[in-house]
Structure 1
Amino acid sequence: MNVQSIDIGIPESGRLEIAAGLSQLLADSYTLYIKTHYYHWNVTGPMFNSLHLMFETQYNELALAVDLIAERIRALGVYAPGTYHEFSKLTVIPEDSAVPKTDDMIKNLVAGQEAVVRTARSLFPIVEKTHDEASADLLTQRIQLHEKTAWMLRSLLE
């Protein structure tokens, strides 16, 4: 990982550890963006219009989120990953091998949203230890949004 020499009150080792975690969050978020966009294009059935619009809202939000996460990595003096190759190594969200049925799309997106929450939550110990309030704020916002989105998606399955 390339790291710049900066003095923002967080030691280099802490910045590297936070950036590594944020890189996984970035990879998970970008992979979820791709999956959500893919489902937006390919959803079918009686809920087509509602899900098509819901997925669009979700992938647009994720597109903004990946920029915020990558910019936080850069603010820590580390280069952000940005290739499919890097993301595929970092993410825990699986790719689809075929277009799933609508209910499976929703289940997969719930699982993806929850995975992003787990990744974000796992970063709090190092963020708190290094007093990185800016990253903590970003993580809190991401967790709140992904938990709400997962709840909304789960509600469709009841």
Structure 2
Amino acid sequence: MSVRNEARDRRISVMAAAAARAHATMLRRNLTSIRQVGRPSVRSREVAWVVIEALDAAFEGRPLTHKELSATSHGVIGAATVTRAVDRAVQRGLLRRLRHAGDARLTLLVPTEAAHAFLTGRAEAAYAEIRDVVLAAERALGALPP
């Protein structure tokens, strides 16, 4: 692999991590809004959410347990719904369940290569879209009087 390709791959990895973090943050905020309209059923948004949370954890190098995942929904999505969403993500080949090496009671949620490929394949466009939104917001904020 050439130095230029390695630099491009590093750039894309940074963009993918930023896109996952921004997307996870936006989904978390959306989950608090969902509470106002009632309890959601398991749909693609919940499956996407569990995969994005797992990718975010993987990019940060931290393990993600089912309990930790449930906690990030701030009680908007119940544990059973989180489990169904994880089940569907596993069935779709986007997540794997692994036993925690130090505590057999814990199950880690790990994104698969398919999940990584899906995100990194869209990283540049996602990062550009988020960057444009942030830059537009910064310009708008800069135009405001102090």
Structure 1 length normalisation: TM-score? 0.33
Larger radius of gyration: 2
Q: Higher strand fraction: Structure 1 or Structure 2?
A: 2
User: Higher relative contact order at CA 8 Å, sep ≥6: structure 1 or structure 2?
Assistant: 1
Q: Higher helix fraction: Structure 1 or Structure 2?
A: 1
